Amino acid sequence: MANRAYLYSIDRKPYTDDDIDKARIVDISEYNWGMPIVYEILLSAKTEIVDSILFNSLEEKGKTLPLALIADYKRGVDRLEMFFANIKEHIDDQMVAETLAFLRNEKNAQQYFLLEAGELYSLLADGEAGMIAENRDLCEGIRNDEDDSGVAQVYSYFVNQQISLGDTQILDQINNIRWSNILYFHFSNKDKEA
């Protein structure tokens, strides 16, 4: 198991809108061994818990589990751009430009971000109930429907506090997020027309 968080864009809510097989799912990013602050920002607007499209129950064959999150794509990207502007003296300009270009590319941008973090939850919790609780806790921790600039400011303040305490690991994390249309769990239907 790779123990990654997987970030996708998707044109509908899994299992609650139309048939999931008709969904257009685009690979966006994956991150090893944790949940980066950039993902938290992208997933902070209108965050909802949904059933996972990657991880089914091992206890009850065929049962889907609420181990994924969706959030408003456009507002997430807008918040990230504001966050980058607030900490620009600490981050790489080229990284910012490449990140925003990738996320705003019409082939990648859709209605929602979809986070699949079941691999991470399996490290933190025993059993499916514990994994579901981890997903709920993450949702409650990052969901923020306040104004976008205020949310970006809160995250910027946190990063600046870390830096003032001499902790620059968070900057390494921010500057080293990789964006790609090919993830370990790759969806072959990503090229469907929206």
Q: What is the pLDDT of residues 57-103, one digit of tens each?
A: 877 887 889 999 999 999 999 999 999 999 999 999 999 999 999 99
What's the CA gap between 188 and 25, in Å, rounded?
8
What's the CA gap between 128 and 51, in Å, rounded?
13
The H or E element containing residue 189 is none
pTM greater than 0.85? yes
The pLDDT score that the predictor gives to residue 135 is 98
The pLDDT score that the predictor gives to residue 190 is 45
**Token pair belonging to 126:** 């025993």
**Token pair belonging to 177:** 């997020």
Q: Are 55 and 146 in contact (CB under 8 A)?
A: no
Positive/negative CA dihedral, 82, 104, 96, 173: positive
Contacts of residue 60, defined as CB under 8 A and 6 or more positions apart, other chains included, come to none
Residues lower than pLDDT 70 in the chain: 1-2, 16-18, 188-194
The pLDDT score that the predictor gives to residue 152 is 97
**Burial track 5-31 (b if 16+ CB lie within 10 A, e otherwise):** bbbbbbbbbbbeeeebeebbbbbbbbb
What's the CA gap between 150 and 124, in Å, rounded?
30
